Amino acid sequence: MVPAGPDVRRSLSSKVKPDLRQSLWSIAVLAAAGLAIALVSIGVLYKVSVHQQGLRLLGMVREQARIIEAMAAHEMSRSAADTVPAGHGDAFEAVLGQLRAAQDQLVGLGQTGELYVARREGDSIVYLLAHRGFSLKHPARMVFGHERGEPMYRALIGRSGAGVLRDYRGTPVLAAYEPVKVFDLGMVAALDVSEVRAPFLRADLLVLAATLAFVVIGGLLLLIVTAPGRRRLRESEERFRQAFEDSAVGKLITGLDGRLLRVNRAFAAMLGYTVEELQSMDFQTVTHADDIASSVRVMNRLQTGTDGSARFEKRYLHKNGGVVWVDLNTVLLRDATGLPDHFVSDVQDITRRKLAEEERERLAHEVERRKAELEQVIYAVSHDLRTPLVSVQGFVDELRLSLKELLAELDRPDLPPEFRERVAELTGSALPESLRFIDAGTARMGALLAGLLRLSRLDRVAFQVEPLDMNRLVGEALRSLEFAAREAGAKVEVTDLPACLGDPMQVGQVFSNLVENAFKYRDPDRPLLIRITGRHEDSKAVYCVEDNGIGIAPAQQERVFVPFFRVDTRVPGGEGLGLAIVTRIVERLGGRVWMESEPGKGSKFYVALPTA
């Protein structure tokens, strides 16, 4: 049996001893039970034997009594027939004589058996036959009714029977007693109880000796037979002990009541205690208050459920009060009868990882917060800058009108010709050109603000995600770009596209942006060819928009997805926001965007979107 809790603490190798002790106990109990059964059986046999021998003795005394009575009757009838008349006493003497002769030849009474006849004379018992303890020459006076000589007393008062009684010596005997009717005699046949008991005592001793031999031999055999097994067990336990003690991983054995029965050095070092200190504590004392309940739940689940092991993370408390995060792998061990006995756990210190995770989480939160703040600022800025921009544009229009009026005033004849010439010079080229620059500037700024607003709004609008028929959706996007395609002289090829999950408006926008970029960044030296393809990859649908345009240099490839980045700012018609918008949409849908490009050959923009 696996040792109960506290035994584990003493030594793992001590497991062997309880096993052996238990086996020896079993042998002893078995022997004791056998001994008890044997002794009880012998006791019963003894009782039966006493009963039967009593009956045999009784038969014998009855037979003898009847013979005496017959002899007496014969002697008395003979005396009556004789010429010389003989008295009652003569017949008695004749019978007595025959009895003495018979007594000498009596067999079947064993070594201590006796047959004797007595008569009552007043308050005395007078024995008429000499026997082992009684000499007729020196007769001892026996008092009638004394507890000594109980069998003869019973015969003399006319009772017949057998039993264990005290004889004339005061010794317990198995005696049969019978009255002899003719001369008021009593007859007793008796055997010493010690003789009756002797064979049974011998049997008892034999059984005792056999049981003792059984225990000793059984124990020795058990020791011999189990010696190799115990040696192997000891060796394996020694190996286990070493693996336990020397492991770099924290290891501990916990009782069902939570006591730390055994811990290794690595675990003790993890918590800053000595092994001895920890082994006098329970797990609750060294567990973080917030994790005690969950640990208890796991322990209960292991005891009541079908799972033999559990892995979970928890916090211990270091001796210095600090928190120690651990990854705990616990196994419940059961005893030979299948009952839960103790837990064995492997403990890995994951404090560093946990702290790093906590820090990462904190930073991620911080980034999210900052991002939200920034988006708020972008939204406010892009929105609020529109107002002054619109007024600048309005005043430019006013200026243009005023200029027109001013030019009309120049036709007045009263104006000096030099003045007219000078004003015509200014209003003819410099002023309208300045106004055009302001127009272009405000238009560009307006476009930038619009793009910025679109980008910041992307995070606010709710997406309606649904299964998308991409052949239909891309087809519609291309139809709305037909004019631009014709202008760019582009040829667009679309293969069969797999379906995906997404918001139809936003995904349409993604493909429009990519195709428009292909138009914008085409190579003037060759006709533009655009191919849109798609395939399944894992649980994603991966689409590719490929062109044979000017391509992008490797150094710029990463940056094209950054808002406002443009490879060549001289190329008209872009704010550097298209790919940033594409990225934002696809990522919000749980997808990914990437590209491959070779300058002078063309680019491939990949979009992966979820399918389920």
Q: Which residues are at the interface with ligand ADP (CB under 6 A)?
A: 517-518, 520-521, 547, 549-552, 560, 565-568, 574-580, 603
CA distances from 511 to 58, 217, 461 (A): 128, 94, 19
- For residues 340 and 576, which CB has a smaller minimum distance to ligand ADP in the complex? 576
Measured from the CB of residue 558, what is the shortest distance to ligand ADP in angstroms?
A: 11
8-state DSSP, 161: E
Task: Phi first, then psi: give them for residue 130, nearest 5 degrees.
Answer: -75, 145
The answer to whether the beta carbons of residues 153 and 144 sit under 8 Å apart is yes
- For residues 383 and 604, which CB has a smaller minimum distance to ligand ADP in the complex? 604
- For residues 61 and 545, which CB has a smaller minimum distance to ligand ADP in the complex? 545
Measured from the CB of residue 567, what is the shortest distance to ligand ADP in angstroms?
A: 3
Distance CA 87, CA 83 (A): 12
- For residues 3 and 551, which CB has a smaller minimum distance to ligand ADP in the complex? 551
- For residues 34 and 576, which CB has a smaller minimum distance to ligand ADP in the complex? 576
* b/e map 112-141, b = 16+ CB within 10 Å: bbbbbbbbbeeeebebbbebeebeeeeeee
Measured from the CB of residue 547, what is the shortest distance to ligand ADP in angstroms?
A: 5
Measured from the CB of residue 484, what is the shortest distance to ligand ADP in angstroms?
A: 13
8-state DSSP, 15: G
- For residues 180 and 567, which CB has a smaller minimum distance to ligand ADP in the complex? 567
Q: In 247-331, where does DSSP find H-type helix? A: 265-271, 275-278, 283-286, 292-304
Distance CA 455, CA 101 (A): 146
Residue in 558, 600, 599 with CA at minimum distance from that of residue 579? 558
Measured from the CB of residue 283, what is the shortest distance to ligand ADP in angstroms?
A: 58
- For residues 167 and 575, which CB has a smaller minimum distance to ligand ADP in the complex? 575
Measured from the CB of residue 545, what is the shortest distance to ligand ADP in angstroms?
A: 8
Q: Which helix (H) or strand (E) holds 543?
A: strand 540-547
Look at phi and psi of residue 490 and say left if phi exceeds 0, alpha if psi is from -120 to 50, else beta.
beta
Where in 181-259 does DSSP place strands (E)? Answer: 185-192, 250-255
- For residues 114 and 575, which CB has a smaller minimum distance to ligand ADP in the complex? 575
Distance CA 567, CA 559 (A): 9
**β partners of residue 131:** 134
- For residues 234 and 588, which CB has a smaller minimum distance to ligand ADP in the complex? 588
- For residues 198 and 494, which CB has a smaller minimum distance to ligand ADP in the complex? 494
Distance CA 563, CA 125 (A): 142
- For residues 298 and 580, which CB has a smaller minimum distance to ligand ADP in the complex? 580
Measured from the CB of residue 414, what is the shortest distance to ligand ADP in angstroms?
A: 54
**β partners of residue 349:** 326
Measured from the CB of residue 543, what is the shortest distance to ligand ADP in angstroms?
A: 15
Query: At 218, which amino acid appears?
Result: G
Positive or negative: CA dihedral 258, 259, 261, 267: positive
> Is beta strand 124-127 parallel, antiparallel or unpaired with respect to 142-143?
antiparallel
CA distances from 102 to 27, 68, 95, 129, 329 (A): 56, 11, 10, 11, 97
Distance CA 395, CA 406 (A): 16
Measured from the CB of residue 571, what is the shortest distance to ligand ADP in angstroms?
A: 7
Query: At 62, which amino acid appears?
Result: R
Measured from the CB of residue 487, what is the shortest distance to ligand ADP in angstroms?
A: 16
Measured from the CB of residue 451, what is the shortest distance to ligand ADP in angstroms?
A: 8
